[in-house]
Structure 1
Amino acid sequence: MTVTPPYPHLGFDPTPGSTDLVRDLHRRLSGCAKEMEKAHAKVGKLMDGSYWEGDAAVAFREQLEGGPLPLNLKNGAHSVDAAARQLDLWAGELGEFQRRARRLDGEAEAARAALRRAQDHEGPASDRADARVAAAQDDLDGVLKRARSLAAEHEETARERARHIGAASRRLAPHEPDTWDRFTDWLGDNLPDILSACAAVLGVIALLGLTAVAPWMLFLAAGVLSGMAFGLRVSDPEVLASLNDGFTKGELDLDFWGNALGTAGDFLGMLPGLGAVAKGAMKAPELMSATAAVARETDEVLTLGEKIAAAGVRAGTSIRTVGVSIRTEAAAAEGAVSVLSHPRVFGGRLAPIVEKIDKPATVLGAGTAVYGVSSSFADTLDNDAAKTVTSLLDGPRTLGVDAPATMGALHFLLRGAGEST
């Protein structure tokens, strides 16, 4: 029996794979992960006496006490679920690759038909006919080149998904990674949360004056860390998939709220620092213009060597001037008040309230961020109840405190920014 190739006009399959098989495996692994999570929960309740009492229950708990079963069930569920999420992403990516391959196959069919027509009308000494054949061949070659590029992209993405699945399987019981592997796995899985927590801690240090470092430097450093965390989150396919499912499918689970609040918090955290740098850089020319005219007059009486030396000095001065300008704007923005304290917002009546909750809210944000990182490292802290409480605390704080504070800093930075351009 002759098997028709899936893309006969391309002559090869640039995107091998079956989305049906991948989706079926994803469903199976997701079901397996859920069953392992249920088993872990039941073992936990058996261990704390919620389900079973009596001498037999005590003997059973003694056998499990300190044993590997609860941890292995938990690690296994996390690993299988992580692998399932990678398969879900790959199913979507494979489907898109194959849709692109079908479009290219259609283009190749049209290009081959055009080439045949040009060859059929080719005369023995016709330059115009030769040109049509060459153009048709170039069109076909271009389609095939794009198909080869698609094949390379498909292979690279498949390898990346396989790497993530392999990393997840390394944490499956009974394979026990060494300390360094566990640390690097944890660091890679939780780097955005770690950066966010560091930014939040810097904010507390600056607010409470716990170091001799100038608050504006901590303000900029926290903005840089928040920007790095934001970049990592929005480039993570799993985070994007979770947010997309939440907004489009209504899957508002704990993962969605954690990702949504983390992304929003990092975005708000990076904006004031970014604005201070931008405004400081824009205002720097104003500070340099005062010395530019004097420098031009002085250059007229200098030798060539002296002019070169003077140019080097001015370059260094210009760089320092930009730094001073950014520092000035950052220091001022760091002390900018929340937009809720503005006299035009409810007549400024919220200012006393904002002043009272500013420090506690900042400390609370750092506390929940540090707890989130700690819970990813310590199994005893990782539970749905704690995640729910953290989300309930972070949600109102982000909307009611962080967002107005960021708007206040941006209002200060944008005020008069047009005059410096």
Structure 2
Amino acid sequence: MTVPAADADRPQGLKSDPGVKNPYPHLGFNPCPGRTDLVRDIHHRLTGCAKEMEKAHSKVTALMDGSYWEGDAAVAFRDQLEGGPLPLNLKNGARSVSKAAKQLHLWIIELEEFQRRAKKLDGEAEHAREALERARGRADGTGNDSAPVKGENRADDDADSALTRANAAAATAQEDLNDVLRRARALATEHEETARKRARHIGDATHKLAPHEPNAWEKLTNWAADNLPDILSACAAVLGVIALLGLTVVAPWVLFLAAGLLSGAAFSLRVTDPEVMSSLKDGFLHGELDAEFWSNTLGVAGDFLGMLPGLGAVLKGGYLGFRAIGESGELLSLAGEADEVLTLNQKLTRLGTNAMTSGRTMGSSIRTEAAATEGAVNILAKPWVFGGRLAPAVEAVDKPATYLGAGTAAYGVVSSAVDSLDSDTATTATNLLDGPRTLGVDIPATLGVLHFFVVGAGEAS
């Protein structure tokens, strides 16, 4: 079938012949075509396929290890598989199918929401069409009742005003209907863009399937893209260790701010990742507390906690710097009697000088605040917490906890690149190490920094 030129760039629901049923008669078109039952069935099948491939991989691995099958036949079988692609292909295939299934799961949720909105818009369109029909009927009736000659007496003027009001009401009703249809067309565009995005992600999920063998650069870029939040978190943790050990000529406060920036970037990537948010939602709302849920929870929490000190230092330092600029009269302004006799070049020069001075003042304030914040005391080490009895214990575990956090973060990055290190057991062990450290060390340390900000801001005020 030849596609009309006008349909080339339109979403499916807005094409001349979308090829699907329209359950929204009052809109006149289907802004979000799709069958959630069909997608749910495909998702179920893919999930089952991924589980079967994982089982097959486990069995092949066990046979390769020689723990279930011995004898000459077993040796010959292992010789045939040794160094071959089957185990890796099974593992990669299971992961790819599982990723595709997750994308379909997200699409089910999105499609249901699109169709819910379409149904609501269809109801609004029904009411808008009824209101338009009534308004047009009143306008037609008023027009028929009007005298053929207008303006000759008061009755004619009243009839003319009534007709004007009726026509205005009909125009308003038409605008209301047009607004509903405009929102429905926008919904069709949003549906199309989301569907294309999910299709791209499903296509990307097949990159590790057995028939496709990416080159070294593709492997590196795919790995970096898939694990960028973990890479940023690990870099932030390593910067913390470097600052703690003093193994650099760079000032510790610079590393402190850099680590906060990296944690902030990692946090932003995690909370905008649909897979991460779907895992968290399934865990908190549906009780699916698997290893992936705990890993994502600790990742988001760790990056958030790592971001707060640096962000707080910048905000507080910026506030104090701005106040210092105001107190010293360095605000960027050309007002004043003396400025009236200056030329434009002289005014621009003064503006540039003030800007540089203000910038240095602001930077110095942020640097001072970051240096002070970097040494903020853990909330559990405060004298008023349990009489200060926890201070020695906090000091004893602070450095080891920093090393442990950097170690688990680095291991997570390395294990994502080395298949032999990537396993559910390793993930569980890492979660068991990171969980108590986050609760017992990271959260109290961040609370100590926030306490420092509040006390410092109060004293400064």
Alignment: residue pair count: 418
Amino acid at match of 1:326: I
**What amino acid sits opposite 1:272 in the alignment?**
P
Deviates more, 1:20-29 or 1:357-366: 357-366
Residue 388 (structure 1) shift: 0.8
Q: 322, 325, 345: which is aligned to 1:285?
A: 322
2:109 paired with 1:92:
yes
- Contact conserved, 1:286 with 1:420, CA < 8 A, in 2? no
Alignment partner of 1:12 is 2:29: yes
TM-superposed CA distance for 1:308, in Å, is 4.5
Tell me which residue corresponds to 1:391. Answer: 431
Match of 1:35 in 2: 52
The structural deviation recorded for 1:417 is: 1.2
Q: Displacement, 1:301?
A: 6.1
Distance in 1 (CA, whole Å) between partners of 2:330 and 2:87 is: 75
Structure 1 CA distance, aligned partners of 2:133 and 2:331? 74
1:401-421: per-residue Cα shift (whole Å, max 9, x none)? 111111111211221314556
1:407 and 2:447 equivalent? yes
After superposition, residues 287-326 of structure 1 pair within 5 angstroms as 287-292=324-329, 304-305=342-343, 306=346, 308-326=348-366
2: CA distance between counterparts of 1:264 and 1:217? Answer: 23
Distance 1:212 1:293 in 2: 33
Query: Is 2:415 the partner of 1:375?
Result: yes
Give the Cα–Cα distance (whole angstroms) in 2 for the partners of residues 201 and 184 of structure 1: 22
Matches of 1:346 and 1:228 in 2, distance apart?
Answer: 36
CA distance 1:5–1:348, change in 2 (3 Å): same
Residue equivalent to 1:172:
209
The whole-number CA distance in structure 2 between the counterparts of 1:294 and 1:188 is 44
Question: What stretches of structure 1 move > 2 A for 4+ residues in a row?
Answer: 285-291, 293-296, 299-303, 305-312, 418-421
> Is the alpha carbon distance of 1:293 and 1:277 closer, same or farther for their aligned partners in structure 2, counting shifts above 3 Å?
closer
Of 191, 206, 212, which residue of structure 1 is paired with 2:228?
A: 191
Question: Which letter maps to 1:347?
Answer: G
Verify the 8 A CA contact 2:325 2:331 in the aligned structure 1.
no
CA distance in structure 1 between the partners assigned to 2:416 and 2:200 by the alignment:
21
Contact preservation (8 Å) 1:282, 1:420: no
String of CA shifts for 1:137-195, please: whole Å, max 9, x gaps. 11111110000000000000000000000000122111112222222211111111111
Aligned: 1:119 with 2:119: no
Structure 1 partner of 2:392: 352
Return the alpha-carbon distance in structure 1 between the equivalents of residues 441 and 457 of structure 2: 25
Alignment counterpart, residue 363 of structure 1, candidates 403, 409, 415: 403
Question: Is contact 1:361–1:401 with CA below 8 Å preserved after alignment?
Answer: yes
Matched, 1:341 2:381: yes
1:271-282 to 2 correspondences below 5 Å: 271-282=308-319
Q: Deviations over 1:265-303 (max 9, x none)?
A: 00000000000001101111343245328999xx76675
Is the 8 Å Cα contact of residues 329 and 413 (structure 1) preserved in structure 2?
A: no
Shift of 1:56: 1.6
- TM-score, length basis structure 2: 0.87
Deviates more, 1:410-419 or 1:22-31: 410-419
What does the per-residue CA deviation read over 1:98-126, in whole Å, with 9 as the maximum and x for residues that have no partner?
A: 01101111111111111111122223262
CA deviation after TM superposition for structure 1 residue 307, in Å: 5.2
Partners of 2:420 and 2:359 lie apart in 1 by 50
Q: Equivalent residue of 2:329, what SS?
A: helix
The CA RMSD over aligned residues, in Å, is 2.0
Aligned counterpart for 2:40 among listed residues 9, 23, 26: 23
Identity %: 68
* TM-score with structure 1 setting the length: 0.95
SS at match of 1:416: helix
Gaps of 5+ in 1: none
- Name which of 15, 39, 47 aligns with 2:64: 47
Between 1:44-53 and 1:384-393, the stretch displaced more is 44-53
Amino acid at match of 1:416: G
Structure 2: gaps (5+ residues): 1-19, 147-162
Q: Distance in 2 between matches of 1:324 and 1:119?
A: 70
Q: Write the distance in 2 (CA, Å) between the matches of 1:225 and 1:204.
A: 14
The CA distance in 2 between the partners of 1:248 and 1:275, in whole Å, is 32
The answer (yes or no) to whether the contact 1:284–1:325 under 8 Å persists in 2 is yes
Q: What is the SS of the residue equivalent to 1:9?
A: coil
The AA in structure 2 aligned to 1:54 is G
Q: Deviations over 1:380-400 (max 9, x none)?
A: 110111111100100011111
Match in the other structure for 2:243: 206
Tell me the distance in 2 between the aligned counterparts of 1:4 and 1:270.
Answer: 50
- Judged with a 3 Å threshold, the aligned counterparts in structure 2 of structure 1 residues 148 and 359 are, in CA distance, closer, same or farther, namely same
Quote the offset at 1:350 in angstroms. Answer: 1.6
Structure 1 residue 13: Cα displacement:
0.5
Higher relative contact order (CA 8 A, sep 6+): 1
Q: Write the distance in 2 (CA, Å) between the matches of 1:225 and 1:110.
A: 52
The alpha-carbon deviation at position 312 of structure 1 amounts to 2.3
CA distance 1:285–1:42, shift in 2 (3 Å): same
Inter-partner Cα distance in structure 2 for 1:201 and 1:335? 17
Aligned to 1:256: 293
Cα deviation, residue 199, structure 1 = 0.4
> 1: CA distance between counterparts of 2:338 and 2:409?
61
Determine the structure 2 residue equivalent to 1:235: 272
Structure 2: distance between partners of 1:238 and 1:294: 47
Measure the CA separation in 1 of the matches of 2:432 and 2:113: 37
